[in-house]
Amino acid sequence: MTYALCARPSEAMSGKLILLGEKTVEYPLTAFNTLGRHPDNSIQVLDRIVSKEHARITLAPNGRWVMRDAGSLNGTLVNGERIGEAVLNDGDRIQLGNTNFAFAEDNPQAQQAEQQAHRGRVTMMPGQVQSEVRNRIDASKRFVPVAEISDMEVLKADYEKLRVAHELSQKLAVGTDLDMLLQQIVDETFQIIRADRAVILLYDPDTDMLTPAYVRQKRADEEIKLSNTILDEVKRNKAAVLSSDAMVDERFKAAKSIIMQGIRSTMAVPLLVADQLVGAFHVDSMLASGAFTDKDLLLFSGIATQAAIAIQNFRLAKKIEHEAATRAEFQRLLSPNLVDQIVSGALTLDQAGANREVTMLFADIRGFTSMSERHTPEEMVETLNNYFEFMVDVLFKHGGTLDKYVGDEIIGLFGAPVELPDAPVRAVRCALDMLKALEEFNLTRASEGKETIKIGIGINSGRVIAGAIGSSRTLQYTVIGDAVNVAARLCSVAKSAEIIISPSTMQQCQAYVIAEQREPVNVKGKSEMIQIWNITGLQEQDLEVPSVAQRHATAPFRTTQEP
């Protein structure tokens, strides 16, 4: 089995945007990227004065990143200058509206060339041990006491090994990138051990295989052939193996791959964490028999222990990072109590979309365009953020899901991703509470001498397709279907402080609401007029609605970002 250890395709040229602010967020770039306010963009910029599609970043054939303004109203600034098109350089500052990014570029071509010369190719050669291991190297020996040292050069050599090992432990403690971590391990090992080649292999418990992850050799003009004979010994017994002369070692006398390469000295140690195999670390010397001593094996095992812990810590950190990202995605959509249950596993969400009954709530600010003309962009962004803060709290309180913001409009879902048989009732109660919350919001604004806000709300219930919609790189949980369009049309019909609902919603909540029947209206896309009602309150016998967590344990869902 042969593994070509070359750079990943994505490493040939990589770039990213870094969102600057209280908390930085990194967005890896693909060959074609769009930036803008609309959620369908590669990078959504939640900034009111940013256009729906504001700018594009593409990877040119020459390997350079090019940014183009997409005809935005307020322009795209690179390093403070408005541009139509500009070649980006590492460290450039980009401004879209009030949102600032930094561009970062990795160009590992020179580094790759150097690593390619040393990595070469690794072949796993089959070999079988015909006899059982009769004895193992005693790795319990320690460095001799100072009183027993007679050779100062030996003392200096031992001190240097311990010094490098200590520095390695310090570096491994702060490593955050697996490739860099493995490189540090191998680099420092070469300073400690007189070896010609070194290979770190990582263990996959699903396949029960050790796979080369990083290679270093002193001579780059050779192909590395690793012996399965020695590696199987390490994996099977989880013990360090030292062979002073692998060509005549009785344990490996039947292994042709050892004899073929003429390896004179070999050390291979398992990477273990609490007896759990993480991988293996192999070094060998082709120059001298007995190049490695028991003391080298002891030190090498210590390095392997630190390396295994560092690798395991890296994996755990990545797992925590992924869980945090998942929690952040859920928090954008669901109420906090549901997020806690999902992360803890108490609530299971399937990843498939579904055709289901959902109630959609659309709430839109009335006269927002004219209001924007009377105020600065900064004031409007602040107004929207404060307004959305109020509305989303009310939405989550009633078990709703935040679908998306579209300009000054907020879209809430009831019945997706968590099923809610009483979704229409919840949606109506949520709408009434939104109007109450808006009254409080406007009182605060009025006391500060600011213009008040007026909203209209439309609600409709029906069958929709609910799931993750988008490309493989940019997904958003949402609903699509005719029922969604009807809800949007009803929102446009609603006047200030009105809650307009459809027959499908009214049918399921008429026992709980006080409603005024209105004249039927024409709705775009419908051949017949639709009867509508304006909700003005709740009946006194309105029943208490159980919490979402009490009623449902599973629902289809898919996060907006793939791992």
Q: CA-CA distance, 563 to 559, in Å (whole number)?
A: 10
Assess whether 398 and 530 both reside in one domain: yes
Do 191 and 147 fall into the same domain? yes
485 assigned to some structural domain = yes
The verdict on residue 253 lying in a domain is: no
Domain match, 370 and 313 both: no
Q: What are phi and psi of 266, to 5 degrees?
A: -140, 140
State whether the Cα torsion 494-495-496-500 is positive or negative: negative
pTM value surpassing 0.85: no
- Domain hosting 272: range is 110-248+260-318
User: Quick one: pLDDT band at residue 489, thresholds 50, 70, 90?
Assistant: very high
The answer to the question of residue 255 being in a domain is no
Strands 554-556 and 32-36, how do they pair?
unpaired
- The pLDDT tens digits of the residues spanning 50-101 come to 999 999 998 876 778 989 999 999 999 999 999 999 999 988 999 999 999 9
Given a cut of 90, whether residue 42 has pLDDT beyond it is no
Does 254 reside within a domain? no
Is 551 among the domain residues? no
Q: Of the residues 106, 125, 144, which one is the last residue of a structural domain?
A: 106
Q: How far apart are CA 98 and CA 110, in angstroms?
A: 37
Using the 3D structure, point to which of 106, 137, 172 is the last residue of a domain. 106
How many separate domains does the chain show? Answer: 3
Rounded to 10 deg, the angle between the 152-174 and 294-333 helix axes is: 10
Q: Is the dihedral of CA 218, 219, 220, 223 positive or negative?
A: negative
Task: Tell me how many degrees the CA angle 420-341-391 measures, rounded to the nearest 5.
Answer: 60
CATH number of the structural domain spanning residue 311? 3.30.450.40
Under the banding of pLDDT at 50, 70 and 90, the label for residue 343 is: low
Pair 366, 456 in one domain: yes
Burial class (CB in 10 A: 0-12, 13-18, 19+), 7: middle
Look up the CATH number of the domain holding residue 18. 2.60.200.20
Tokens read off for 404 = 């998306």
> Mean pLDDT across the stretch 480-504?
95
274-278, 280-284, 289-293, 549-553: the lowest-pLDDT one? 549-553
> Rounded to an integer, what is the distance from CA 538 to the centroid of its chain?
43
Rg (CA), the chain: 32
CB 131 within 8 A of CB 251: yes
Q: How many CB atoms lie within 10 A of CB 102?
A: 16
Q: How many CA atoms lie within 13 A of 337 on its CB side?
A: 13
Contact 57, 88 (CB under 8 A): yes
Look up residue 89 and give its DSSP letter.
-
Report the alpha-carbon distance of residue 428 to residue 271 in Å, rounded: 59
What is d(CA 346, CA 148) in angstroms, rounded to the nearest whole number?
62
546 located within any domain: no
| Interatomic CA distance for residues 460 and 79, integer angstroms | 47
232 inside domain: yes
> Residue 224, Cα to own-chain centre: how many angstroms?
35
pLDDT in tens, 210-267: 888 888 876 666 667 777 777 888 888 887 888 754 444 555 555 555 444 555 678 8
Strand partners, 465: 355, 480
Looking at the structure, tell me whether residues 385 and 502 fall in a common domain: yes
Instruction: Assess whether 184 and 301 both reside in one domain.
Output: yes
The reply to whether 350 and 413 lie within a common domain is: yes
Same-domain pairing of 390 and 273: no
Contacts of 458 (CB under 8 A, 6+ apart): 361, 362, 487, 488, 489, 490, 491, 492, 493, 494, 499, 500, 501
On whether both 151 and 46 belong to a single domain, the answer is no
pLDDT number for residue 185: 84
Mean pLDDT of the chain: 77
- Kindly state whether residues 393 and 488 are assigned to the same domain: yes
- Compute the Cα dihedral for 171, 175, 180, 181 and give only its sign: positive
- Burial of 551 by CB count in 10 Å (0-12 exposed, 13-18 middle, 19+ buried)? middle
Helix orientation angle between 178-192 and 152-174, rounded to the nearest 10 degrees: 180
Which of 56, 87, 106 delimits the end of a domain? 106
Q: Chain centroid to CA 304: how far?
A: 29
Together in a domain, 79 and 202: no
The pLDDT-based confidence of 179 (bands split at 50, 70, 90) is: confident
Clarify whether residues 99 and 219 are in a common domain.
no
* CATH number of the CATH domain containing 465: 3.30.70.1230
**Side chain identity, residue 436:** K
123 pLDDT tier (thresholds 50, 70, 90): low
**Residue 553 within a domain:** no
